[in-house]
Amino acid sequence: MALYLSALALSHFRSHKSARLALDARPVAIHGPNGAGKTNLIEAVSLLSPGRGLRRAAAQDMARRPEALGWKITAVLHVHHQVHEVAIWSADGSARQVRIDDKATSQLALGRIARVLWLVPAMDRLWIEGAEGRRRFLDRVTMSFLPAHAEAVLTYEKAMRERNRLLRDQVSDAHWYLALERQMAEAGAEIHANRQHALALITGAQMQAATAFPTAELELTRTGGAMPETAGDLREALAESRFRDRAAGRTLVGPHRADLYGVYAAKGVPAADCSTGEQKALLVSLILANARALARDFGAPPILLLDEVAAHLDASRRAALYEEICALGAQAWMTGTEPDLFAELGARAQHVEVVESGGLSRIIRENE
């Protein structure tokens, strides 16, 4: 079974005024100088999944300047034995619109037909930045297995915003909190269970594969004590925490306080204390484990987006990465500044050059 794009077209998206690619299922190796528009190309692919894409940008910020006319992405997506035509666009800075097979739908529907994972340079600081970034990373991993996880997160966050408003207004009447806390408890228990399920799948996928990349031991933790796991426990914890939460002006208990703790297994060293190269290798290991687990769970490997993937990887690990991608059968979109970075792939990949002139990106296919 396969999951890949056979066509991608961009209109007024970032630095690409008009771009078209015809593709097969092989990996896509994209090279070009910094600022040419390579990352813009894979950002467009990332929007074929729920959420705001790999840059987490607002729709109006993706429009090509100076025209600012809005933008559009169209793609032909092969999923198992089905072919879907997907169109995503934003006009005049409006919210992103989605059509699948010429039918208007929600962003969440994208998660039901495709799986897209990415690793970008901003994630290199995952282990040393704040817990919010690690939660966001874990939730994207979780959504790759359980697309409905996105709805649970949205439900929880909406109810929490309303509860926080009551806390800031110093509302003490318990009746105002009960319905919101019931929603938070039910959604929060689902979020916690989903995250634990995803971590179990990732751990299993790491242990069951021989790889050149280090294994990470992962644990879901919470600052200040144990995480309430059931809906009943979380509802009780929220009720008990109201006085303390009013003093803080925000909710201090729940899955939004969770953190992902990682350890370099072979050395027993916390990921945060590892070298830059080791942290990068751990991240690559997790992305590959996620892809392997998805290949079993979804029936096809995900589309992988690996921006500047060669950074901090030596030649042997870079070659090992390409071997694993090809063994998976994943359509991995990889960027780098030099074509030599992808020399080990040879004919196993589709090679694309991106150049820029006067703020306008242009795509050149190999042999054109």
Instruction: Label residue 315 by pLDDT band (50, 70, 90).
Output: confident
> Is 11 within a domain?
no
> Is 349 within a domain?
no
- Give the integer Cα–Cα distance in Å for 336 and 306: 9
Domain that holds residue 174: 125-297
- Count of domains in the chain? 1
> Is 133 within a domain?
yes
The more confident residue out of 368 and 201 is 201
Q: Identify which of 41, 35, 75 has the alpha carbon closest to the alpha carbon of residue 365.
A: 41
Query: For the chain, what percentages of helix, strand and coil (3-state, to nearest 5) are there?
Result: 45, 25, 30
> Is 242 within a domain?
yes
The backbone torsions φ and ψ at residue 28, rounded to the nearest 5 degrees and listed phi first, read -115, 110
> Is 104 within a domain?
no
> Is 150 within a domain?
yes
> Is 40 within a domain?
no
Q: For the segment 263-314, what is each residue's pLDDT rounded down to a tens digit?
A: 999 999 999 999 988 998 999 999 999 999 999 988 899 999 999 987 678 8
> Is 69 within a domain?
no
Q: What is the mean pLDDT of residues 20-28?
A: 96
Distances (CA, A) of 335 to 116, 146, 304: 16, 28, 11
The whole-number pLDDT of residue 138 equals 96
Strands across the sheet containing 71-79: 16-22, 3-13, 71-79, 82-90, 97-100, 103-105
Q: What is the mean pLDDT of residues 345-367?
A: 90
Residue 194 has pLDDT above 80, yes or no: yes
CB 206 within 8 A of CB 217: no
Maximal CA-CA distance, the chain: 71
| CATH number of the domain enclosing 229 | 1.20.1050.90
